[in-house]
Amino acid sequence: MAYEFRLQDPGEGIHEAEIIEINVSEGQQVREGENILVAETDKAAVDIPSPVTGEIVELKVSEGDIVEVGNVLAVLNEEGSEKDEEPDPDEGADADEGADKKTGKSRNDQPAREGGNESKTEASSSSRAAGESSRAEAQTTDADQADVLATPAVRGLARDLGIDLEDVPGSGEDGRILEDDVQKVAESDSASTDDDTDIQAVRRPTEGSERVKLRSVRRSTARRMAQSWRDIPHVTHEDAIDITDLERMRRDHVNTAKQEGVKLTLTPFVMKALAGSLSQHPSFNARFDADEEEIEIFHEVNVGVALDTERGLLVPVVRDVQAKTVLELAKELSEISEKLQEKRADRAMLEGGTVTVTNIGAIGGTGLSPIINPPQVAIFGVARAKLQAVLSGDIDEATSQNRLILPVCLTFDHRVNDGADAARFMNSVKLLLSDPEQFALRS
């Protein structure tokens, strides 16, 4: 019997995923639980196991396709069934109505049932259960989505451009709205504006140019940062910290940390200094609820650490920083980084942050102005430390010393904190990082 294997939500609350790897070919025999695809969401790359044992009759997707939950990934002949047996024409008809013939994309945005992928055994059983449920008609939770046929990517583009999808004529199958349709309406709306020439120049590819589709993490980052910049009044407070003595202390303990399998960098010291300062300035360890006009202040310090990975910018979260030592933080950061590079991150690793740290020092730069990661209200930035000659003493009898100076900044939500609050918070961080004795006393 032919079996239609559909994409299920891998427990992350997703609506779509990008197919980044196909491990099988048509005509190949596969076993139940064998990984046949790798799908990447904006959170992690997930192995997709076969829910049944049988032969791959047809692959409905290609590498690089963006597939919605509920779409058919592959058609299999289950073991023991007749090879040429046709699928029941009534089975799954409702769920397939309006599907894209090339990619198998469905108009449904929500899965009929969520699937799991925690272990090979659980993956096999849950995938089979998910596949069984996919034969039922997929349900849509948003009534408006039933009236307008468009993928989440198209809906996101329309939101970014301020376009009402109900005003967009769809050129796709069954009236489905495509990205080009949204772009045409946006260009038409902007035709009467003074800066129309600039807009057209940006949108129209020139000779020798190319258009690169935003995928998974890049697409998610673009939407999230645009939302942050649009909704949050950003202010950046800059300063410079003398970390000469702290750097000496770090070097004194590098070998000790190495014996424990830990690479001791500056970042865990910054995280610990933030946690100590946030206990005195808790309004920076918070989230802003615009609907209720309330500030939710957190008692635990969960620091999101912005990391540059092959997939793009990811922000894993280290929890309860206030309760951990610098060595414990360094070890946890190493473990997290390893998981991200091996694409073994899960949704839980990337959620629950209360404040964020971004450190570009290893790459370079004398300063930065980072964008807040909503719904947080602050992000602390670190650039590259530089040895500088610093004058000290009386103005008439100043002496010069070589000191290691660290450029830092604090971008904050002006709805929650004022400039004076940011300056006081920065002074607290500065005290801890510039004076190892204070750091030891307060850590």
Residues labelled catalytic: 414
Instruction: Please report how the helices 419-434 and 244-252 are oriented relative to each other, as an axis angle in degrees rounded to 10.
Output: 50
- Counting runs of H as helices and runs of E as strands, what totals does the chain give? 13, 18
**How is residue 56 written in tokens?**
């791959």
Q: Rounded to the nearest 5°, which phi and psi values hold at 43? A: -110, -45
Burial class, 113, CB count within 10 angstroms (exposed 0-12 / middle 13-18 / buried 19+): middle
Q: What is the DSSP letter of 147?
A: H
Residues 103, 65 contacting (CB under 8 angstroms): yes
Determine the Cα–Cα distance for residues 320 and 440; give it in Å rounded to an integer: 18
What is the separation of C-alpha 109 from the centre of its chain, rounded to a whole number of angstroms? 20
Determine the Cα–Cα distance for residues 183 and 177; give it in Å rounded to an integer: 11
**How is residue 99 written in tokens?**
């599907």
Buried b (16+ CB within 10 A) or exposed e, 170-189: bebeeebbbeebbbebbeee
Tokens 């609506």, located at residue:
15
Burial class, 41, CB count within 10 angstroms (exposed 0-12 / middle 13-18 / buried 19+): buried
Determine the Cα–Cα distance for residues 376 and 353; give it in Å rounded to an integer: 8
| Bond preceding residue 89 cis, omega within 30 of 0 | no
Residues 216, 45 contacting (CB under 8 angstroms): no
Burial class, 103, CB count within 10 angstroms (exposed 0-12 / middle 13-18 / buried 19+): middle
Residues 134, 70 contacting (CB under 8 angstroms): yes
Distances (CA, A) of 424 to 207, 269, 322: 53, 19, 19
**How is residue 157 written in tokens?**
């583009």
